[in-house]
Amino acid sequence: MTDVMTDRRPLTGQPGDPLPVSLKQARLPRWSPPVIALVSAAAGCGIGLAAGLDSRIQWGLIAALLFIVGTYALAAAVEGRRQAKDRLATSLVWIAFLLAVIPLASLLWETVARGSKVLDGYFLSHSMGTLPDAMPGGGIYHAIIGTLEQVGLATLIAAPLGLFTAIYLVEYGRGRLAKVVTFFVDVMTGIPSIVAGLFVLSVWILILGFGPSGFAGSMALAILMMPVVVRSTEEMLKLVPNELREASLALGVPKWRTILKVVLPTSIGGITTGVMLAIARIAGETAPVMLLVWGAKTINSNPFEDAQQSLPLYVFQQWQQGSEASYDRAWAAALVLIAFVMVLNLVARGIARWKAPSTGR
């Protein structure tokens, strides 16, 4: 570009220049931020090496500090204070972004890199059985079965309840009951997962005297899932244009058939998305499963009796064992869990885009 550092250009406007030159401020050249970044990164590494700091985090911090100060000083000298502040804000925002990307990228990278070490067909199709914890081998078949059954049962409980509650709130609710329900749905969204687990523990195990089972875990998961389903379904039902309802009612169709045949089909894509996102959320819950399902080493495909295993709990228990082999298994199970959750998320968002409700013309 033409607006380089030459701020002392002759005051006579050049032909073809739309603006009088005197209105143009001095600007730093466009390549200056990356150059300052490179220089400060190099200086950060240099200082880090020279001072013998062994943590890369410190190198990064020093480099970031140099970058901020350098940009501000240069801009203040060349462009003035207001522009310097603007540059300062820009560099802070970029640094915030990089600061957040590093741990999140590292999390995904570590999981994939360490998890793929022992992940194979054998790992997916075998349980731990009687394998000693420190030995390599074993697998997560029992955990996959447990997770699928617990999450499936929780969905069977929570999805219809949540769906009907949302229908009540959007289609029927006018009075005080609807307001109270709305408020408590909000409250329920904030329940920590371990508190839901403690509730089921106090009723189902301590008072009613049942033992640990997959079903007990599903009840706690259902409590966590219900408000999420209500919220998302409510949003979707509100998107359905009122003209559709009115047209159907004007034709003499009963209200319940209007809801069933007009409102729900129009919003089914968004509702499915909401339910799948809720499933993805509860599939990774560990705390209630630990309190209520306890975990097992062998295959138990009956969710109504005896302890079961689940993927997140398996990750935790393998981490607790603390041997190299069990760390490998924990990472591999974490990779399977993350893949499961991500696939659910991607499919759900795909459905949302594919079946987006047509809101009128």
Partner 1 sequence: MNPQAPSTPDAPPLPPPPAAGPSPVSGKAVRPGDRIFLGLSRGSGITLLVVMAAIAAFLTYRSVLAISGDHANFFTTLDWNATGTEPRFGIAVLAFGTVVSALLAMVIAVPVAVGIALFISHYAPRRLASPLGYVIDLLAAVPSIIYGLWGALFLVPHLTGLYSWLDDYLGWTGIFSYSDGAARSLFTVGILLAIMILPIVTSVSREVFLQAPKMHEEAALALGATRWEVIRMSVLPFGRSGVISASMLGLGRALGETMAVATVLSPSFLISTSLLDPGGGTFAQNIAAKFSEADTFGQDALIASGLVLFVITLLVNGAARLIIARRKEYS
Of 87, 128, 165, 58, nearest in space to 298 by CA:
128
Region near partner 1 per CB under 8 A, out of 102-110, 127-135, 137-145, 233-241: 102-110
**Closest CB to partner 1 among residues 105, 301:** 105
Check if the beta carbon of residue 158 is closer than 8 Å to that of residue 222. yes
**Closest CB to partner 1 among residues 87, 142:** 87
What residues numbered 14-43 form the site for partner 1, per CB under 8 A? none
Site string for partner 1, 110-129 (x = CB under 8 A): xx------------------
**Closest CB to partner 1 among residues 21, 301:** 21
Q: Smallest gap, in angstroms, from Cβ of residue 305 to partner 1?
A: 20
What residues numbered 214-253 form the site for partner 1, per CB under 8 A? 223, 226-227, 230, 249, 252
58 is a contact residue toward partner 1 (CB under 8 A): yes
Q: Among residues 39, 95, 339, 347, which is the contact residue for partner 1, using CB under 8 A?
A: 95
**Closest CB to partner 1 among residues 21, 206:** 206
**Closest CB to partner 1 among residues 255, 304:** 255
Region near partner 1 per CB under 8 A, out of 1-9, 104-112, 124-132, 236-244: 104-112
Of 178, 163, 177, 276, nearest in space to 230 by CA:
163
- Taking every pair of Cα atoms in the chain, the longest distance, rounded to a whole number of angstroms, is 93
What residues numbered 251-280 form the site for partner 1, per CB under 8 A? 252, 254-257, 259-260, 277, 280
Number of residues that bind partner 1 (CB under 8 A): 102
Q: Among residues 27, 126, 281, 355, which is the contact residue for partner 1, using CB under 8 A?
A: 281
**Closest CB to partner 1 among residues 12, 179:** 179
Check if the beta carbon of residue 212 is closer than 8 Å to that of residue 307. yes
- Close Cβ partners of 325 (under 8 Å, ≥ 6 residues apart): 133, 134, 135, 136, 137
Region near partner 1 per CB under 8 A, out of 137-145, 210-218, 262-270, 324-332: 324-332
Q: Smallest gap, in angstroms, from Cβ of residue 360 to partner 1?
A: 21
**Closest CB to partner 1 among residues 145, 196:** 196
290 is a contact residue toward partner 1 (CB under 8 A): yes
What residues numbered 181-200 form the site for partner 1, per CB under 8 A? 181, 184-196, 198-199
Q: Smallest gap, in angstroms, from Cβ of residue 85 to partner 1?
A: 6
**Closest CB to partner 1 among residues 73, 89:** 89
Site string for partner 1, 141-180 (x = CB under 8 A): -------------------xxxxxx-xxx-xxxxx-xx-x
332 is a contact residue toward partner 1 (CB under 8 A): no
Q: 102 phi and psi, to 5 degrees?
A: -60, -55
In the numeric block, the tokens 């985090």 are attached to 57
